[in-house]
Structure 1
Amino acid sequence: MPYVEAAVRRRQFIAAGRAALAVHGVAKTSLRVVAAEAGVALATMQYVFPSKEELLRAVIEDVVDEIASVLADSAVTDQGLENAIRYGLGAFWDRLVVGGRELQMLQYELTMYALRTPGHEDLARHQYQRYTAVVADWCRRATEQAGTTVGVSFDHLARMIVAGVDGLILQYVCTPDDARAREGLNALTVMATALARS
């Protein structure tokens, strides 16, 4: 077997972990299952990730990084706050929610796993802090570029947007309805914009 750098191998195992978790869920995914998904011996897998907990931690961080990156790239911030929210939510939804049911289910399952596993609670906090920070940043940039102000803190505004998106995602995962989801995103934009003006 040719030598593969540890960093490359780590990325392969995280991708295999995500694939296995999407199919089997947290409870039924073992290192042996992930090793089979990656096409390597269990010992090779354990060299990089000695325990399931370490692999799950890496997968959670990878999912958070991906979602935070999409959020950060999604908003148009040079046309005012309402447009930043509307286009940011729309782009995020199109890229990660529509057709991404497994990713969204995996995200929530990993969040619950982190909250229920002693020593991993910080991952769930980190996850939502990252999402909130990214949304707060594009709301702040849009407001500054438009030369306007908001009546609440950007952190509070972002937390309300993230909470609204979470609710809409859960509804969509349970009953995929594109028209209802768009209606919900539009309503969330209106509510968030009104909150910013309060």
Structure 2
Amino acid sequence: MARVPTAERRLQFVRSAARVIAQDGLAAATTRRIAAEAEAPLASLHYCFRSKDELLQEVYYYLSRDYAQSLPPVAASDAGLKAVVLAHARRVWERMLAEPHEQVTTFELLLRRFRVDADEQPKALAMNRSMYEGWVKSTCALFESAAVGAGEEVPANLELAARLFISGIDGISMQHLADPDPARSAALVEMLASAVAGSFTYSADAQAS
């Protein structure tokens, strides 16, 4: 049997952990269960990750820091900020529909800090912050690049607008997972993109007020 490269095996375990957490909950996501999902030896998992916490940290990264890199490209760089906001909303939603377990796993991980002992809560909170920082950073970078590429001014409230975008996607995802309605959810995603595009403020606006 051909040997699987370590980097490939690590990603295999991370993806398997995300599926297990979505299917069975965080408490049931033991290393043995994750290895079985990956159809790989438990010893291989322990070779790739020193602990379950390290594996969970990589799942956080996979769903936040690395998330944007796995999405299809957006519109051309000169399409303008509003067009890119809409294109980004659509591609994020398409990913949610294709891989709904990722969103379920995300919610499970974010709620983890309420399910651990008091001495573990600071670490869990830090992991939550790192997840949101990954999303905010990638979203801000995309929106700023779109504005600069089109010769537009970068909004003064770029980070808040990015957080509004992320909050909206989270909320629509939660509603859709609880009560699926593809047409309604698609309309909400379009409305979210329009709302975010309309929320941008600029330095001239601040001076005029």
TM-score range, shorter chain: 0.7 to 0.9
TM-score (norm 2): 0.81
Map residues 32-71 of structure 1 onto 2, 5 A cutoff: 32-70=32-70
Higher relative contact order (CA 8 A, sep 6+): 2
Instruction: Give 2:111's aligned residue.
Output: 112
Q: Distance in 2 between matches of 1:25 and 1:74?
A: 33
- Does the C-alpha gap of structure 1 residues 65 and 114 become closer, same or farther in structure 2, counting only changes over 3 Å? farther
Identity of aligned residues (%): 27
1:170 aligned residue: 174
Q: Which runs of 5+ in 2 are unaligned?
A: none
Which amino acid in 1 is paired with 2:98? G
* Structural RMSD (CA): 2.5
**Aligned pair in 2 of structure 1 residues 89, 76: CA closer, same or farther (>3 Å)?**
farther
Say yes or no: does 1:147 pair with 2:151: yes
| CA 1:16–1:193: 2 relative to 1, 3 Å | closer
In terms of fraction of residues, the more helix-rich structure is 1
- 8 Å CA contact 1:14–1:58 kept in 2: the answer is yes
Q: TM-score, normalised by structure 1?
A: 0.84
1:152·1:195 contact (CA, 8 Å) conserved in 2? no
Q: Which residue of 2 aligns with 1:129?
A: 133
In 2 relative to 1, CA 130–63 (structure 1 residues): closer, same or farther, beyond 3 Å? same
**Using the alignment, how far apart are the partners of 2:155 and 2:16 within structure 1?**
45
Alignment of 1:92-107 (within 5 A): 92-94=92-94, 96-107=95-106
Listed as ranges, the gaps of 5+ residues in structure 1 are none
